[in-house]
Amino acid sequence: MNLWFTEKQTKAFGITAKVKNVLHTETTPFQQLDMIETEEFGNMLLLDGMVMTSERDEFVYHEMIAHVPLFTHPHPKKVLVVGGGDGGTVKQVLKHPSVEKVVQVEIDAKVVEYSKMFLPEIASAYDDDRAELIIGDGFMHILNSENEYDIILIDSTEPVGPAANLFTKGFYAGIFKALKEDGIFVAQTDNPWFKADLIRNAIKDTREYFSVTRLYTCNIPTYPSGMWTFTLGSKRHDPIAVSKDTITDVDSSYYTADIHHASFVLPKFVQDLL
């Protein structure tokens, strides 16, 4: 078989991977879902033709969206994950012994179903007693919550289709209300090479509600440009002020105490976006 998958990241640039096998393809009520087996990155989840996760590099995204805020908060007990149907973020959150409950709201049940089938290592935490899965609208869940969560993680796709509402100014106001008085949220905010305006807007909107607003980065080879950003908003705790001594050992392949702080050191062109 000489089959290749290409994600067109802009009209003139893309990333391509050789496909060994097409595992599943389906148009769900919300999006086009494909599971493919690639030679370089193993099994890969695609939504609307965009790479969501792969077996080989998933740990980078999931560790960085989870561990940075969870080690910034002194004692996170209740965590909300919006999206993230592959289960990888929930898996990382549950590595923190202080977490008593993680609620995940995923709009598309098919993402969960086929992640369990074809990405079982990533989706391995769904059976944990501390995890609660809600199939529903994360936007509405947050708007109906108040003073409930220590940490909120927005593990969404790009701002198209069912994820479009997760990048609006009103959503940040809802997050602020849903968080406890010292709560923290993190949202994936795409890459600075192709989505500079998205990052500018996310930072601007976050600053309107949160006294501590930070952007941090990591390297994910299957995501557009390879450089990925997360926007963190905190009511009280600053991730840069976290002492390395308070970051305990965690089962990780990317995140470390040094990476925690180094991820906030931004290249000049990224600083200029802010």
Q: Known binder of ligand: residue 86?
A: yes
pLDDT of 28-65, one tens digit each?
Answer: 999 999 999 999 999 999 999 999 999 999 999 999 99
Q: Known binder of ligand: residue 170?
A: no
Give the per-residue pLDDT at 2: 87
Would you please indicate which residues are annotated as catalytic (active-site) residues?
Answer: 155
DSSP SS3 for 131: strand
Each of the 274 residues of the chain gets a pLDDT tens digit; together they read 689 999 998 999 999 999 999 999 999 999 999 999 999 999 999 999 999 999 999 999 999 999 999 999 999 999 999 999 999 999 999 999 999 999 999 999 999 999 999 999 999 999 999 999 999 999 999 999 999 999 999 998 654 444 455 556 678 999 999 999 999 999 999 999 999 999 999 999 999 999 999 999 999 999 999 999 999 999 999 999 999 999 999 999 999 999 999 999 999 999 998 8
Cβ neighbours around 79 below 10 Å, total: 29
Give the per-residue pLDDT at 158: 59
Q: What share of the chain is helix, strand, coil (3-state, %, to 5)?
A: 30, 35, 35
The domain segmentation of the chain, as residue ranges, is 3-53, 58-271
Same fold, 3-53 and 58-271: no
For the 3-53 domain, the top CATH level (class) is mainly beta
Give the per-residue pLDDT at 156: 86
Q: Known binder of ligand: residue 31?
A: yes
Q: Known binder of ligand: residue 158?
A: yes
CA–CA gap between residue 46 and residue 256 (Å, rounded): 28
Closest CA to 238 of 61, 69, 62, 79: 69
DSSP SS3 for 103: strand
Q: Known binder of ligand: residue 156?
A: yes
Question: Is the CATH code 3.90.25.10 the one for domain 58-271?
Answer: no
The encoded tokens of residue 34 equal 């494909």
pTM (2 d.p.): 0.95
